Structure 1
Amino acid sequence: MPLAPTPVLVLALVGLSGFPVAAAVYAFGPPDLRFTAIHVLLTWSAVILGFLGGIRWSQETDRDPPRFLRLAAAMLPPLAGGGLLLARDFVPADWILGGFIVTYLAAWLFDRAPQTLARYPALMTLLTFSACVSLALALEKALRI
């Protein structure tokens, strides 16, 4: 059984590419690109959390009637991502990166909750794992700086 239909998988992997590219540039790239790379990684993390929250919201609104608590829970990861992004000038990068990892893992756990409408759970696991590994690579570098 494939992770998802080919068009969904290809576009998901293209969307995912921002994580490892930005993390690799931050961790291994030239020092003059580190600042830009970490901000790209943080911004991309918030954008994708917003996108995934929209997917969860859309899936729940297809129910008749939609459940208020599920709709509210779908909003939490995008709000956390936005808050972490806004905090980047006031909080050390290692805390922000850790916050994004926790937020991605919490969203992944939410997708595993009973009665959650997860269309491609294996794909979501792959994407969450890849995002978290990229963020962890950047976190490891941030802790060494």
Structure 2
Amino acid sequence: MFLAPRPVWSLALLGLAGFPAAAITYAFGPSDLHFTSIHVLLTWSAVVLGFLGGIRWSQEAGREPPHLIRLAGAMLPPLAGGGLLLARDYVAADIIIGGFIVAYLAAWLFDKAPQTLSRYPALMTLLTFSACVSLALALEKALRL
């Protein structure tokens, strides 16, 4: 397993902070912040899915020759995140949140596939875990509303 350098971990943890901050505010914060915090969580989820998809895509594109299936697979989570974000005004929040959880888990499973380049698997697992736990907290709150 390749361990990420300290600056990579530091920046990744800083980037992860948006997930629990938005989810905790949505689940336990004042009701006047619920609307804003759920939209921050959903937007941040789509942004990070896009970022991770770009990482996966660039790793595969750097291979000689790149494999079309893995390039396409790297594009699916960002496309799902963008689609879920666009659907947030038309679909119930619990379905959107559940969709983001599925997208993160699918992306994580993609990293575990044979011959997939995952440079820092521990870091990707932490990111997936943090995003999914935060989204699950928001999902629990959305189901209670």
Smaller-chain TM-score range?
A: over 0.9
Gaps of 5+ in 1: none
- What's the counterpart of residue 43 of structure 1? 43
C-alpha separation in 1, matches of 2:89 and 2:61:
35
TM-score by length of 1: 0.98
TM-score by length of 2: 0.98
- RMSD, aligned CA: 1.0
Provide the secondary structure at the position in 2 that maps to 1:133: helix
- What do residues 67-119 of structure 1 show as CA deviations (whole Å, max 9, x unaligned)? 11111111000000000000000000000000000000000000000000000
Within 5 Å, give how 1:87-106 maps onto structure 2: 87-106=87-106
Within 5 Å, give how 1:65-104 maps onto structure 2: 65-104=65-104
- What's the counterpart of residue 16 of structure 1? 16
- What's the counterpart of residue 62 of structure 1? 62
Provide the secondary structure at the position in 1 that maps to 2:88: helix
Cα pair 2:42 2:85 within 8 Å, conserved: yes
- What do residues 26-78 of structure 1 show as CA deviations (whole Å, max 9, x unaligned)? 00000000000000000000000000000001100110011111111110000
Gaps of 5+ in 2: none
- What's the counterpart of residue 32 of structure 1? 32
Cα pair 2:108 2:128 within 8 Å, conserved: yes
C-alpha separation in 2, matches of 1:3 and 1:77:
24
C-alpha separation in 2, matches of 1:123 and 1:82:
23
Letter in 1 for 2:112: R
Alpha-carbon distance change, 12 to 140 in structure 1, aligned in 2, over 3 angstroms: same
Provide the secondary structure at the position in 2 that maps to 1:89: coil
Deviation at 1:4, TM superposition (A): 1.6
Letter in 2 for 1:40: V
Deviation at 1:2, TM superposition (A): 7.9
Cα pair 2:49 2:81 within 8 Å, conserved: yes
Question: Deviation above 4 Å: which 4+ runs of structure 1?
Answer: none
